[in-house]
Amino acid sequence: RPGEILEGRLDTYTITATLNRGAYGCAHLARATDGSWRVIKQFEPSEELSDADWRYQRVCFERESDILMRFPSPLIVFAHEFLRSDDEMFLVMEHVQGQTLRAVFDHHRLATGRPFAWPTAVGIARQLCQALSFLHHLPGQIIYRDLKPTNIMWDAVARRIKLIDFGTARFNAEAQRATQGLGTAGYAPPELYGQGLDLSPATDVYTCGAVIYELLCGSPPPDRTTPLDFRGQ
């Protein structure tokens, strides 16, 4: 709660506000001892989850923490430290000063009545491709799986995008068998709709195309379980 203190190995964090809360945990805004801001992601799953779901979400949280701690990049959110105490887990991350791509795009649409001009969309596409290429060339080859505007932050200070929320990311060896239901309708490729196809870097390429489709056309791709050919759009 606001006012509570979390003791870390690298610093001490004072919680100032709860940013959001979901079925698997919540995110808090906090200040480090030097006054800088942090975002602390807390593993706090709903009591309504089954034991199997609880264990699965714990594995996802630990995997996300491992990825962000081991593989820093200017194009993904930076993790300072991972804290564990009994069943409690916290991931301390940088506070990105900016908004999600969803918020930026929706504000632009409201102000102008139009989607992004193609040079803006191409600039974002280049950075998304750089971020995905970084993940795909890491040892073990990470597949992000759930690329969408709400999982992309626009860093207003650095003037670039950053990928956030690696809860569904997988190392390629662990992701060969697609899990139905993971991914977001419209952005997800057919293999995430239970089509019996293997996941691969092409999964992320498809979702990247879906994001750029929306930035250029003004609305998300159709919700469908068959492949969408972006070349004809």
146 is an active site residue: yes
The closest alpha carbon to 67, from 76, 54, 58, 55, belongs to: 76
State the catalytic residue, choosing from 11, 53, 146, 198.
146
Burial bucket for residue 127 (CB in 10 Å: 0-12, 13-18, 19+): middle
The closest alpha carbon to 124, from 159, 150, 175, belongs to: 159
Determine the Cα–Cα distance for residues 68 and 87; give it in Å rounded to an integer.
20
8 Å CB contact between 18 and 28: yes
Q: Is 159 left (phi over 0), alpha (psi -120 to 50) or beta?
A: left
Distances (CA, A) of 17 to 21, 45, 94: 11, 19, 15
8 Å CB contact between 132 and 215: no
Name residues whose C-beta falls within 8 Å of residue 211's C-beta, 6 or more positions apart in sequence.
Answer: 101, 128, 147, 148, 149, 152, 187
Report the residue count for the chain: 233
Q: Which two three-digit tokens encode residue 84? A: 């564990």
**Catalytically active residues, by annotation:** 146
